Structure 1
Amino acid sequence: MSVPVRTKRSSASSDSPHGLALLRDPLLNKGTAFTEAERDALGLRGFLPAHVLSMKDQVERVLTNLRSLPTDLEKYIALNSLHDRNEALFFRVVCDNIDEIQPLIYTPTVGLACQRFGLIFQRPRGMFISANDRGRIAELLANWPYPAKLIVVTDGERILGLGDLGAHGMGIPVGKLSLYSACAGIRPEYCLPVMLDVGTNNEDFLNDPYYIGLRQKRLSGVAYDELVDEFITAARGTFPGVLIQFEDFANHSAFRLLHKYRDKINVFNDDIQGTAAVALAGLFSALRVSGGKLADQKVLFLGAGEAATGIADLVVSAMMAEGVSEAEALRRTWLVDSRGLVVKNRAGVTDHKLRYAHDHAPIGDFLTAIETLRPTAIIGVAAAGGAFTPEVLQAMARINDRPIVFALSNPTSKAECSAEEAYRHTGGRALFACGSPYDPVKLDGKTFVPRQGNNSYIFPGVGLGAIASGSRLVTDEMFMAAAHTLAYLVNDADIQQGSLYPALPRIREVSAHIAVAVAEVAYRRGLATTPAPNDLMAFVQSQMYDPHY
């Protein structure tokens, strides 16, 4: 008979909750699974119905109820409510049914949930820190009752492909951290979602009676930077060694903040670095089919923001690792933004695009860029729904025997093309990856199984490796190691059915291998602060939370 004792930063009280207080604590609650002896010992008699259910019974009941709900948003709300009541059961449901549940707790459903967040908000999860809290952020963080080792923070300005959702963007850190626990076994009590509420420029929300955030225009300039810096300083002071992940910041903030902090403290930006690693892994997998080296490819991006330049930077580094010069690698990497091909003689090219602004005549549209540059791979990360038109896909198939087509934008409404469109318009020859989930596609007697180039293949393992090793920094070398590891874990059966990523139910295995690769970099580069274990895989696996009673 045992009930897990919550680990607190404060030892003010060592008494475990009893009675109703215990049932209302999601970290400790087992609901109807409390045994007869536990009910006597913990003051639960009378609060629970008589029959004791096993966790397996509880999981089956949750799934039965969940599958009866008519919409994905209602399923999201139901799962969120379960998370608030019983974390062990929530994560058991997620871990054992990851294919079914991940699209409900993260992309694509989380996008709609964020848009409706003010209407569906039930119970706080994480911390809301507003511009009005300047000067006392450390005091706010001290209210958090757990020893946070991982923070995911957003300011809500660029949520998925949906734009400025302000404080409603809190759904993203919450969902992301759920995946850290489910996919890599980082203990839920170590995970802290944070919303930096600096206002919103979304007029609909400013006029929405149910909007939960500050009713003011966004903070900017020096005042914004000072707020972020105060948060970073307070977080590191309150939770020594904490890993901080920037999430869904707009381009103008994302690049600047990453460059400001990345060489000083333990931070990374998943939209830039995690997206890059998962896309690079997909390219490595695709080349197992099409042949050739990465350094021989020409990659054309639709999009020139965080995701595009993050992927491009890692692709260039990987090409250079194959022996080509930086100049040659750059010549094989091109961007198209809303104004057309990014070229040197175009006015107003922003800093993060300059590296990929080549000497070339202007080209105004993506299809013409394909016909002119003749890329072997196109990667869509512009949230431009339907931009990979039949003509685009047919052109790629005409130029390449096995065209590489990655439509990575999400949610589904922002996808550049569907899996069915990619296969149909290339005669089944596309090497396809997507940002949102699609069902298998049957074409000309063959079944293709597309898989998401989802960051959840990368960031949970990176976070686990960094935390397990106590790494002082998260480096690009770690993301390169993660990409190679993910590609290595794609087996021949995956490749034969058109899958460029492993099956999602293998995600905890994948995360463990990536964590080992990341930790190896930390130890090799002198960044680790924990002693190197004799068996790194066994050590990593011992750190992984397994949800059970």
Structure 2
Amino acid sequence: MHNIRQYQLPLQRYMAMMDLQEGNERLFYKLLIDNVEELLPIVYTPTVGEACQKYGSIFSRPQGLYISLKEKGKILEVLKNWPERSIQVIVVTDGERILGLGDLGCQGMGIPVGKLSLYTALGGVRPSACLPITLDVGTNNEELLNDEFYIGLRQRRVTGQEYADFLHEFMAAVKQNYGEKVLIQFEDFANHNAFDLLARYGTTHLVFNDDIQGTASVVLAGLVAALKLVGGTLAEHTYLFLGAGEAGTGIAELIALEMSRQTKTPIDECRKKIWLVDSKGLIVSTRKESLQHFKKPWAHEHEHVGNLLDAVNAIKPTVLIGTSGKGQTFTQEVVEAISSFNEMPIILALSNPTSQAECTAEQAYTWSKGRAVFATGSPFDPVEYNGKTHVPGQANNAYIFPGFGLGV
């Protein structure tokens, strides 16, 4: 720990930890378990985001298993090359939507590696039972395609039937090689694929999507805890989301399910308490025709509202949740508006890494005059406001998936 603390930059600490994981796995986990608060931001969000962006240039030894399009027809053989036989959990990505950073292609490997180290450090799953996989189906990131250090295929992403066939071969091979009981965690797939994969393989494989389901569980837990401070039941609050992708719609659906369970009301009724804003404004019924299928349940009766500030003023939410992947979108006007009609507004700026957070802890507490109940996806330091220290919560999936995986 003394040596790791000598490094000034988080990325240098990350590289030191990865070297340690390769060279002395037992010591790596001993350090991580004993210093979890200090090292979690290094091996996981936010530093892992920067590591993925620079993965090609900090690459020393490959971690995890890469399966590329060139190996179509031979995926089972590739899986058999992995030295460990009894795998219990696989975290797989195709790198198309890494955190809030977008398409990082093959360099998204940092995420499955980081997630699985938490299965061990926080869930106690044997490291040898964990398998990080990146499916290399190309990248649409021009910068990476032109980067001499990019480690993946230099081609545009394949889509449609070719993509579906490749994924299908992978899912079949995993089951054939590791049996019915291997848990597959889908990680950082783009929206259009994530929902399809979950629907397609939910009945045939043991699968979950951490971005849709893990995030939802953690945020619901956060809301249940926040209500102890703010008062009221889930159904008595009004929710407004910025961002209507996997995380946003996943959280919204779980809140509605729990509301329905508590009040014995049909879920369609409960959904009406929850509003979503996407890049085109508030999701309302007049837009239904043009919406992607996962947004349709959230299209309620309301006139068109073009931006977040107007939506806050129109809907008057008690809870504001950011899952947009866009930094600094909870502006001073937005936070002041929600604070003007709530004694204690619940504000969750969930996008990762820190650079993509909708607002910082300091902004949330300052603009709400210290009244916000606030949590973020990446860690923020405590903030002093008017002589009182506010400690922001961290609504991060690390609280869910290691224990969930262990339970499964």
- With the shorter chain as reference, the TM-score category is over 0.9
| 1:201 match | 140
User: For 2:166 and 2:130, how far apart are their aligned partners in 1?
Assistant: 22
In the alignment, which of 179, 182, 193 is matched to residue 121 of structure 2? 182
AA aligned to 1:69 is Y
Following TM superposition, by how much is the alpha carbon of 1:363 offset from its aligned partner in structure 2, in angstroms?
Answer: 0.3
In the alignment, which of 155, 172, 176 is matched to residue 233 of structure 1? 172
Matches within 5 A, 1:95-114: 95-114=33-52
User: For 1:267 and 1:231, how far apart are their aligned partners in 2?
Assistant: 13
In the alignment, which of 1, 13, 17 is matched to residue 79 of structure 1? 17
Matches within 5 A, 1:459-498: 459-466=401-408
* Per-residue deviation, residues 206-265 of structure 1 (Å, max 9, x unmatched): 111111000111111111011111111101111111100000000010011011111221
Structure 2: segments with no counterpart, 5+ residues: none
Match status 1:304 vs 2:244: yes
Secondary structure, counterpart of 1:271 in structure 2: helix
Runs of 4+ with >4 A deviation: none
| 1:116 match | 54
**How many percent identity over aligned positions?**
54
User: For 1:279 and 1:264, how far apart are their aligned partners in 2?
Assistant: 28
* Per-residue deviation, residues 269-294 of structure 1 (Å, max 9, x unmatched): 00000000000000001100111100
AA aligned to 1:461 is G
Matches within 5 A, 1:533-544: none
Following TM superposition, by how much is the alpha carbon of 1:303 offset from its aligned partner in structure 2, in angstroms?
Answer: 0.1
Secondary structure, counterpart of 1:345 in structure 2: helix
User: For 1:382 and 1:402, how far apart are their aligned partners in 2?
Assistant: 23
User: For 1:435 and 1:124, how far apart are their aligned partners in 2?
Assistant: 28
Match status 1:378 vs 2:312: no
AA aligned to 1:358 is H
User: For 1:328 and 1:238, how far apart are their aligned partners in 2?
Assistant: 45
In the alignment, which of 210, 224, 234 is matched to residue 294 of structure 1? 234
User: For 1:149 and 1:414, how far apart are their aligned partners in 2?
Assistant: 33
Matches within 5 A, 1:216-295: 216-240=155-179, 241-295=181-235
AA aligned to 1:352 is F
Following TM superposition, by how much is the alpha carbon of 1:451 offset from its aligned partner in structure 2, in angstroms?
Answer: 2.2
Following TM superposition, by how much is the alpha carbon of 1:139 offset from its aligned partner in structure 2, in angstroms?
Answer: 0.5
Following TM superposition, by how much is the alpha carbon of 1:124 offset from its aligned partner in structure 2, in angstroms?
Answer: 1.5
AA aligned to 1:213 is G
Following TM superposition, by how much is the alpha carbon of 1:327 offset from its aligned partner in structure 2, in angstroms?
Answer: 2.6
User: For 2:385 and 2:56, how far apart are their aligned partners in 1?
Assistant: 43
- When the two structures are superposed, what TM-score results if normalisation uses the length of structure 1? 0.73
* Per-residue deviation, residues 433-473 of structure 1 (Å, max 9, x unmatched): 1011111111112111112101000011110000xxxxxxx
Following TM superposition, by how much is the alpha carbon of 1:297 offset from its aligned partner in structure 2, in angstroms?
Answer: 1.0
AA aligned to 2:273 is R
Q: How many matched pairs?
A: 404
Structure 1: segments with no counterpart, 5+ residues: 1-62, 467-549
Give the number of the structure whose alpha-carbon radius of gyration is greater.
Answer: 1
AA aligned to 2:39 is I
Secondary structure, counterpart of 2:290 in structure 1: coil
User: For 2:67 and 2:285, how far apart are their aligned partners in 1?
Assistant: 41
| 1:452 match | 394
* Per-residue deviation, residues 67-116 of structure 1 (Å, max 9, x unmatched): 11120111100000000001110011001111110000010001110010
User: For 2:142 and 2:193, how far apart are their aligned partners in 1?
Assistant: 21
- When the two structures are superposed, what TM-score results if normalisation uses the length of structure 2? 0.98
Match status 1:367 vs 2:309: yes
* Per-residue deviation, residues 359-392 of structure 1 (Å, max 9, x unmatched): 1111001011010001110100001111111111
* Per-residue deviation, residues 294-343 of structure 1 (Å, max 9, x unmatched): 01111100000000000011000010011133232111011100110011
User: For 1:276 and 1:433, how far apart are their aligned partners in 2?
Assistant: 14
User: For 1:244 and 1:379, how far apart are their aligned partners in 2?
Assistant: 28
User: For 2:313 and 2:270, how far apart are their aligned partners in 1?
Assistant: 20
AA aligned to 1:309 is T
User: For 1:374 and 1:384, how far apart are their aligned partners in 2?
Assistant: 22
Where is the strand percentage greater, Structure 1 or Structure 2?
Answer: 2
User: For 2:390 and 2:124, how far apart are their aligned partners in 1?
Assistant: 31
Secondary structure, counterpart of 2:132 in structure 1: strand
Following TM superposition, by how much is the alpha carbon of 1:122 offset from its aligned partner in structure 2, in angstroms?
Answer: 1.1
| 2:370 match | 428
AA aligned to 2:276 is L
